[in-house]
Structure 1
Amino acid sequence: MTPLLKVEGLGKFYGRHLGCADISFTLWPGEVMGIVGESGSGKSTLLNCLAGHMPPDTGRVMFDTRDQGLRDTLEMSEPERRWLARTDWAFVHQNPRDGLRMNVSAGGNVGDRLMAVGARHYGDIRRQASDWLGRVEIDAGRIDERPRAFSGGMQQRLQIARNLVTGPRLVFMDEPTGGLDVSVQARLLDLLRGLVRHFGLSAVIVTHDLAVVRLLADRLMVMKDGHVVEEGLTDQVLDDPQDAYTQLLVSSVLQV
């Protein structure tokens, strides 16, 4: 089996400050990788380098393209990377306002991504938008309302619908439950778990919340000061952490 994503020696520096260094891992089709660590650990820098939001200084990010197999995304042309971001990749921001067009209706937000990949029939676009609102538990009767009229949890679910409507194979998620009330987080996690399983999605999820990766991630990487200090199956890492820093993270959650 060909890996969907293969990362080799990825590194990023901000002047003399280390963002992340020597990151290597393989992500298989249908697999979810969680990345955890405290603020400043380098996990968000890594995610943004993987998703093409910032260029790394070292390493390669290989993706299994539909027509040419594994290719280094860093060597793709800008139009190729934009097309990849509209089709096979998706990015769910922590703040849904960063991933939505707040002055466009809910249906327009979902339809916007469809139009970006060539859809033009208004009726078909609206039907797909309505279907996806239902999939993320938003009343289809609110299709013409703007996101600013929605709660934070609904905005996040709308952002998920906008991202998944084109059938991406890889989803990057940056603290997808951050800033939400506990009850809203639980509902969103149940929704994400169902969508990941139903569509066989691969995902890379960055979070500081170990409960999120416990529920969603097959494998886990723990980062500290820009480096991966531990990696393995999620349950193994959380139930029997080997690195002292991972032990501290797990114990701090248990003590709360």
Structure 2
Amino acid sequence: MTDEPLLRVSALSKFYGSRVGCENVSFDLWPGEVLAVVGESGSGKTTLLNCLSTRLLPSSGTASYRMRDGQWRELYRMSEAERRFLMRTDWGFVHQNPADGLRMTVSAGANVGERLMAVGDRHYGRIRATAVDWLSRVEIDEDRIDDEPRAFSGGMRQRLQIARNLVTGPRLVFMDEPTGGLDVSVQARLLDLLRGLVTDLGLAAIVVTHDLAVARLLSQRMMVMKDGHVVESGLTDRVLDDPRAPYTQLLVSSILQV
């Protein structure tokens, strides 16, 4: 692991008029580290994720990313084209609803292949072979490569979206409720798959979730948000086993009582 972070966030805030989306959020993310951002609906976690991934521009604050050449770039000073290129190559974004992250009217293989073409691969045979390999890694049979995602189950669509995001070897992946809306048995299988891939590939990831079990399984560190503010942060096991903020204690106890 390098002695420098991958992402540095300082005093990041987003306001919608007088309403707080998120306020004064600061943290460093290290290569290979998974950070979970947890909180109830409306806590600001998705606003924060959208600001970090440059889908939203913040009202104030900075976020700097260390590029592959070692140079630091301030995300909100990059051009729109530069940010889009980053999203297609060095970053991934796994949506809660897979339809938001897939092209539903092209084949599964084309969904994966498009990302490879975005980084300059033009060799059809190599693209297809890589797509086959990645479909197998996310437990989709090779004979489904020419099927459209519309013919897939929710769990298969989410696994395809993961393959599409990871095929270019990104260094940072954003995940917005990656198991939301899936049956419990499908969730467990998907989480197991995600954990294995993140570990094998040495990915850094920021995972937004309201599910503390997801946070415990995937992340080394977590931040708890309430009303747009970070109320507690630390190593995941410490936060969940010894919560200090009253709100975190309430979250943890409500899970234990279910």
TM class, shorter-length: over 0.9
Q: What is the total number of aligned residue pairs between the two structures?
A: 256
Paired with 2:253 and 2:29, the residues of 1 have a C-alpha distance of 28
Q: In the alignment, residue 236 of structure 1 is paired with which amino acid? A: R
Show the counterpart of 2:30.
28
Match of 1:187 among 180, 189, 204: 189
Q: In the alignment, residue 139 of structure 2 is paired with which amino acid? A: E
1:186-231 deviations in Å (ceiling 9; x for gaps): 0000000000100000000000000001000000000000000000
Between 1:82-91 and 1:40-49, the stretch displaced more is 82-91
Show the counterpart of 1:16.
18
Paired with 2:84 and 2:104, the residues of 1 have a C-alpha distance of 21
1:31-85 deviations in Å (ceiling 9; x for gaps): 0000000000000000000001010011111101012522111111112111111
Matches within 5 A, 1:72-221: 72-221=74-223
Runs of 4+ in 1 over 3 A off after TM superposition: none
Q: In the alignment, residue 128 of structure 2 is paired with which amino acid? A: R
1:76-96 deviations in Å (ceiling 9; x for gaps): 111211111111110000000
Show the counterpart of 1:244.
246
Paired with 1:161 and 1:180, the residues of 2 have a C-alpha distance of 18
Q: In the alignment, residue 191 of structure 1 is paired with which amino acid? A: L
Show the counterpart of 1:7.
9
Paired with 2:58 and 2:67, the residues of 1 have a C-alpha distance of 20
C-alpha displacement at 1:98, in angstroms?
A: 0.2
Q: In the alignment, residue 141 of structure 2 is paired with which amino acid? A: D
Paired with 1:29 and 1:232, the residues of 2 have a C-alpha distance of 17
Q: In the alignment, residue 45 of structure 1 is paired with which amino acid? A: T
Which SS does the other structure have where 2:122 is aligned?
Answer: coil
Paired with 2:128 and 2:197, the residues of 1 have a C-alpha distance of 21
Paired with 2:67 and 2:151, the residues of 1 have a C-alpha distance of 38
Matches within 5 A, 1:227-238: 227-238=229-240
Unpaired runs of 5+ residues, structure 2, are: none
Paired with 2:14 and 2:242, the residues of 1 have a C-alpha distance of 30
Q: TM-score, normalised by structure 2?
A: 0.98
Q: TM-score, normalised by structure 1?
A: 0.99
| 1:69 is the counterpart of 2:49 | no
1:82-131 deviations in Å (ceiling 9; x for gaps): 11111111000000000000000000000011111111111111001000
Paired with 2:71 and 2:201, the residues of 1 have a C-alpha distance of 21
| 1:42 is the counterpart of 2:44 | yes
Paired with 2:69 and 2:175, the residues of 1 have a C-alpha distance of 25
Paired with 2:70 and 2:206, the residues of 1 have a C-alpha distance of 22
Q: In the alignment, residue 20 of structure 2 is paired with which amino acid? A: L
Aligned-CA RMSD value: 0.6
Which SS does the other structure have where 1:130 is aligned?
Answer: helix
Identity of aligned residues (%): 72
